[in-house]
Amino acid sequence: MKKKVRTNWLQKARENWNHKGDKRPPFAIEPNKGQRSVWDFPRPPIIEKVRKSVLVNCQDGTIADSKNALAVLETASPPTYYIPQVDIDMGSLVPIHGKASMCEWKGRAIYLALKTMRELPVAWYYPNPFPEFQELKDHLAFYPQHLECYIDGERAKAQASDFYAGWITEDLAGPFKGEKGTEHW
């Protein structure tokens, strides 16, 4: 019975989205040349391989430096970048005990903090992602709200949210989920 309850919850959560990337809503900003609209990103989300330099810094130095990151693209949100653990200074991070969340697409997330600031979540990962997102296993995502995050030398702006952690760059057109008035997206 427990599996059926989980399956029902999961299916209901997945069906609850109005925007699925198949048609831009009238309020979507028209992308300029060289930009992508986050309203063209699909739901369910997809994973895109990133061969650009992805860098994460904090006051103490570099935490992550990779050219093998993955980006999760999902309707209405800027990409969330997942960096392989082999490209991360894992010794600078500690788990935040008791802090977890559930994503209807990816599974149960565990949160991490810097050793120097143990209460502030700066990263998360999926130890056992759902089958569709197994590629995210052994990868961490970082909050640009709390760290300096760069794509090919461009510093990413933080998504307007304490929960969402997409990286906003000049090549994206919004509006982006997390901004005031977007709760129903």
pLDDT in tens, the chain (185 residues): 455 555 676 666 666 666 666 789 999 999 999 999 999 999 899 999 999 999 999 988 999 999 999 999 999 999 999 999 999 999 999 999 989 999 989 999 999 999 988 889 999 999 999 999 999 999 999 999 999 999 999 999 999 988 889 999 999 999 999 888 887 77
Domain for residue 96, yes or no? yes
Q: Are 129 and 140 in contact (CB under 8 A)?
A: no
pLDDT at residue 59, rounded to an integer: 85
pTM, entire model: 0.90
Domain for residue 69, yes or no? yes
Domain CATH for 106: 2.170.150.40
Rounded CA separation 21/116 (Å): 40
Q: What is the overall mean pLDDT for the chain? A: 91
The number of folded domains in the chain is: 1
Domain for residue 178, yes or no? no
Domain for residue 156, yes or no? yes
Quote the domain boundaries for residue 25: 2-173
